[in-house]
């Protein structure tokens, strides 16, 4: 309780100082240095968290290159390096020595909270248990993607080996380092919580520095951070949420760095870009869309900022791709002649789609969307009735009018990777309202702000059209940003009172929509985690030995059982149709873990 009181006092003092700064500026008074501390503290905290994740990955890679020397202490060393850099950045930003511990303590508090939440929740996602955890465990124990980029994961079943060898591995390195230090695989999920909070703080700092009022800045930061994709995956090892959050953080930091080129902001921009690039292939592609849009704007409206943007972009891309992203981007280019293999291919090594093995199209897409145009897919994804077809409630998606979702439809948000209307039951209505707000703003904004609105929306839409699978929000999470862009401009510009009220209503609706998704998701996750913990305790206390059909979750299930001190024999792919079901996947997904006592028939 004492910690929470100190945190409340910290935020109250911070925002009080900032409000006084605004009043002083409005009355012509001088703005004291103390009044600029709140955004600085938030920027430094955000940069410290992002730097910690970058140091984690770089430390893990360095240890692997040195034959795993010191791999178990990479995490504490990375944390100390991040805290020292945070303190240094605080001093560089002009924060007095007596206040430089604020970002450090805030980072430690967020890390402690992230570890506790990660320890409580189990990962029940299908892909997370299949190849994400397998990759993390392999890196932590015996695989070396740097010295042996093609043969490190030969034990993995089905296409899992292909994914582990060739996919981006940033979050895996981080989770593997934490796993090696703590001995608890689930604690590696703390990076999801950390990057989410860094995104919130960075967006809040950008909005405050940009002149938004405190309440508006808080609202924009909250709605931008709690992307339903990030919230749905926050208890898993899926990486789409990490990419979505780091992309937003890279965006606000890059734009802010052009206006206020302070060290903390620039470090945040580069570190967030590195995280984004190394979380998913699409992270690099979406980041390039962002940098191209900002460069296009600078070319016509702020040419003096072009050299600074070029340096920042070059640092982010070179470090993210060539150093932190050596595997997969460089190794894929060297061995498969295509940095994005197997999503894209070369003449000698065709992509999965060219080989007829597009798993997303075969198994993950509602049947009435297979082979359809992108516009049709997005129509079902945005304006469809919430559902997780083809795995539950039929094989086909269906359309619905905005704001007509039923209570039963909320089952869709028990899934970590919901498909139809995955951004929330009311997102379709929010999108239509935001379009109306955008059109309204076009007649009210000046020419410069009008082009900002058009360029931002066009960039998001263009980035969503590069892949036929972007209809699935986990592959195109930036769709969530479309209704937020006009809200930011409405809050920032001198809008009418009616426009401001309309924007507040839209913001409240978006927040409520995200809270609905989070409530359903975390409620299911809490009950499932408690059930699994009870099951594991019972199996351990019985003293018996059990046979487990782990199917495609062999590595993750074995690690889970080992940590729980359960005596078991792994049957691998052998099915146990009459066995007991261990809590492992959401209802409707196939191949859950099953078990029986040795000798039981």
pLDDT tens digits, 427-475: 999 999 999 999 999 998 898 999 999 999 999 999 999 999 999 999 9
Residues 230 and 244: beta-carbon distance below 8 Å? yes
Non-local (6+) Cβ contacts of 16 within 8 A are none
Q: Rounded to an integer, what distance in angstroms lies between the CA atom of residue 192 and that of residue 175?
A: 10
- State residue 370 phi and psi, 5-degree precision: -65, 130
What's residue 12's pLDDT?
A: 54
**Residue 416: strand, helix, or coil:** coil
| Mean of per-residue pLDDT scores for the chain | 91
Residues 59 and 69: beta-carbon distance below 8 Å? no
**Alpha helix ranges (H) inside 443-496:** 447-464, 484-492
Q: Rounded to an integer, what distance in angstroms lies between the CA atom of residue 243 and that of residue 588?
A: 27
> What is the tens place of the pLDDT at every residue in 548-584?
999 999 999 999 999 999 999 999 899 998 889 999 9
What's residue 263's pLDDT?
A: 94
Which DSSP letter does residue 329 get?
I
The two tokens of residue 137 are 């465990």
**Alpha helix ranges (H) inside 210-360:** 214-225, 228-233, 240-259, 263-277, 281-301, 306-318, 331-336, 359
Out of 189-203, 343-357, 527-541, least confident range: 343-357
Evaluate the CA torsion angle 334, 337, 340, 341 in order and state its sign.
negative
Pairing relation of β-strands 594-597 and 567-570? unpaired
Residues 107 and 45: beta-carbon distance below 8 Å? yes
Out of 33-42, 241-250, 259-268, least confident range: 33-42
Residues 45 and 86: beta-carbon distance below 8 Å? yes
Residues 250 and 204: beta-carbon distance below 8 Å? no
Neighbours of 117 (CB within 10 A): 17
Q: Inform me whether the pLDDT recorded for 18 exceeds 60.
A: no
- What percentage of the chain carries pLDDT values higher than 70? 93
Q: Rounded to an integer, what distance in angstroms lies between the CA atom of residue 90 and that of residue 99?
A: 8
Q: Inform me whether the pLDDT recorded for 3 exceeds 80.
A: no
The two tokens of residue 30 are 């001088």
The two tokens of residue 487 are 């809200």
Overall average pLDDT of the 285-294 stretch: 96
The two tokens of residue 24 are 């002083």
Rg over alpha carbons for the chain, rounded to the nearest Å, is: 24
Non-local (6+) Cβ contacts of 431 within 8 A are 382, 482, 483
Q: Rounded to an integer, what distance in angstroms lies between the CA atom of residue 228 and that of residue 220?
A: 15
Q: Tell me how far apart the terminal alpha carbons of the chain are, to the nearest angstrom.
A: 52
In angstroms, the Cα distances linking 348 to 151, 351, 561 are 19, 10, 42
**Residue 148: strand, helix, or coil:** coil
Give 490's pLDDT tier (boundaries 50, 70, 90): very high
Non-local (6+) Cβ contacts of 184 within 8 A are 119, 563
Environment class of 355 (CB within 10 Å of its CB; exposed 0-12, middle 13-18, buried 19+): exposed
Evaluate the CA torsion angle 547, 552, 555, 556 in order and state its sign.
negative
Give 34's pLDDT tier (boundaries 50, 70, 90): very low
Could you give the count of Cα atoms lying within 13 Å of 381 in the half-sphere of its Cβ?
29
Neighbours of 29 (CB within 10 A): 11
Q: Inform me whether the pLDDT recorded for 31 exceeds 80.
A: no
The two tokens of residue 502 are 């309309």
What's residue 599's pLDDT?
A: 84
Neighbours of 360 (CB within 10 A): 14
- What percentage of the chain carries pLDDT values higher than 90? 82
Evaluate the CA torsion angle 570, 575, 576, 581 in order and state its sign.
positive
Which DSSP letter does residue 373 get?
-
Residues 359 and 349: beta-carbon distance below 8 Å? no
The two tokens of residue 554 are 């062999």
Q: Inform me whether the pLDDT recorded for 326 exceeds 70.
A: yes
Q: Rounded to an integer, what distance in angstroms lies between the CA atom of residue 331 and that of residue 339?
A: 8
In angstroms, the Cα distances linking 22 to 219, 255, 272, 328, 583 are 18, 22, 29, 47, 53
- State residue 128 phi and psi, 5-degree precision: -60, -45
Q: Rounded to an integer, what distance in angstroms lies between the CA atom of residue 468 and that of residue 463?
A: 11
Report the predicted TM-score, pTM, of the whole model to 2 decimal places. Answer: 0.93
What's residue 90's pLDDT?
A: 94
What's residue 32's pLDDT?
A: 36
- State residue 387 phi and psi, 5-degree precision: -170, 170
Overall average pLDDT of the 294-309 stretch: 92
Neighbours of 527 (CB within 10 A): 12
Greatest mean pLDDT among 22-31, 276-285, 357-366 lies in 276-285
Residue closest to 475 by CA, chosen among 360, 359, 355 = 360
> What is the tens place of the pLDDT at every residue in 198-220?
999 999 999 999 989 999 999 99
> What is the tens place of the pLDDT at every residue in 386-405?
999 999 999 999 999 999 99
**Residue 361: strand, helix, or coil:** helix
DSSP-derived secondary structure for 230-271: HHHHTTSS-SHHHHHHHHHHHHHHHHHHHHS--HHHHHHHHH
What's residue 2's pLDDT?
A: 53
What's residue 458's pLDDT?
A: 97
Residues 405 and 411: beta-carbon distance below 8 Å? no
Overall average pLDDT of the 166-170 stretch: 95
Overall average pLDDT of the 272-289 stretch: 97
Residues 57 and 278: beta-carbon distance below 8 Å? yes
Overall average pLDDT of the 248-261 stretch: 95
The two tokens of residue 67 are 């034959």
What's residue 179's pLDDT?
A: 98
Neighbours of 379 (CB within 10 A): 17
Evaluate the CA torsion angle 209, 211, 212, 214 in order and state its sign.
positive
């Amino acid at each position: 309780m004492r910690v929470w009181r100190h945190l409340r006092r910290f935020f109250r003092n911070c925002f009080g100082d900032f409000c006084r700064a605004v009043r002083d500026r409005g009355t012509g008074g001088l703005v004291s240095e103390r009044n600029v501390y709140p955004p600085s503290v938030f920027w430094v905290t955000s940069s410290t968290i992002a730097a910690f994740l970058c140091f984690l990955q770089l430390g893990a890679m360095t240890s692997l290159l040195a034959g795993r020397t010191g791999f178990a202490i990479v995490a504490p060393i990375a944390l100390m390096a991040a805290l020292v850099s945070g303190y240094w950045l605080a001093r560089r930003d002009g924060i007095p020595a007596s206040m430089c511990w604020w970002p450090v303590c805030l980072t430690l508090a967020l890390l402690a909270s992230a570890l506790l939440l990660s320890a409580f929740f189990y990962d029940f996602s299908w892909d997370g248990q299949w190849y994400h955890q397998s990759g993390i465990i392999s890196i932590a124990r015996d695989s070396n993607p740097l010295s042996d980029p093609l043969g490190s994961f030969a034990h993995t079943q089905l296409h899992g080996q292909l994914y582990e060898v060739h996919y981006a591995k940033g979050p895996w390195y981080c989770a593997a380092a934490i796993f090696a230090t703590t001995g608890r695989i689930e604690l590696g999920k703390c990076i999801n919580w950390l990057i989410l909070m860094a995104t919130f703080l960075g967006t809040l700092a950008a909005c405050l520095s940009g002149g938004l009022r405190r309440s508006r800045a808080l609202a924009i930061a909250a709605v931008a951070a709690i992307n339903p994709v990030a919230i749905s995956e926050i208890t898993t090892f899926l990486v789409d949420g990490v990419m979505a959050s780091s992309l937003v953080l890279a965006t606000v930091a890059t734009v802010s760095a052009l206006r206020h080129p302070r060290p903390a902001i620039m470090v945040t921009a580069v570190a967030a870009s590195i995280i984004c690039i190394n979380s998913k292939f699409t992270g690099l592609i979406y980041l390039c869309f962002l940098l191209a849009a900002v460069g296009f704007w600078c070319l016509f409206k702020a040419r003096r900022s072009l050299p600074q943007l070029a340096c920042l972009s070059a640092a982010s891309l070179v470090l993210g791709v060539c150093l932190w992203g050596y595997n997969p981007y460089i190794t894929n280019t060297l061995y498969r002649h295509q940095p994005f293999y197997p999503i894209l291919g070369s003449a000698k090594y065709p992509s999965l789609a060219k080989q007829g093995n597009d798993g997303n199209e075969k198994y993950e897409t509602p049947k009435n969307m297979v082979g359809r145009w992108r516009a049709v897919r997005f129509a079902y994804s945005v304006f469809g009735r919430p559902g997780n077809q083809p795995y539950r409630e039929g094989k086909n998606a269906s359309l619905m009018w905005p704001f007509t979702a039923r209570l039963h439809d909320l089952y869709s948000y028990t899934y970590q990777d919901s498909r139809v209307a995955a951004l929330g039951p009311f997102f379709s209505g929010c999108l239509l309202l935001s379009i109306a707000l955008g059109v309204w703003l076009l007649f009210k904004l000046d020419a410069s702000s009008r082009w900002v609105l058009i360029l931002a929306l066009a960039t998001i839409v263009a980035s969503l059209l590069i892949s036929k699978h972007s209809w699935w929000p986990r592959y195109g999470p930036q769709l969530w940003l479309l209704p937020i862009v006009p809200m930011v401009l409405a809050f920032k510009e001198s809008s009418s009172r009616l426009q401001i009220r309309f924007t507040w209503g839209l913001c409240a609706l978006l927040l409520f929509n995200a809270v609905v998704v989070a409530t359903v998701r975390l409620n299911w996750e809490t009950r499932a985690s408690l059930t699994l913990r009870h099951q594991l305790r019972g199996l351990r206390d019985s003293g018996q030995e059990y046979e487990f059909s782990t199917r495609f979750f062999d590595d993750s299930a074995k690690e889970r059982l080992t940590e729980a001190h359960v005596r078991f024999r792994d049957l691998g792919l052998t099915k146990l149709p009459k066995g007991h079901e261990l809590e492992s996947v959401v209802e409707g997904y196939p191949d859950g873990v099953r078990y029986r006592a040795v000798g039981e028939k």
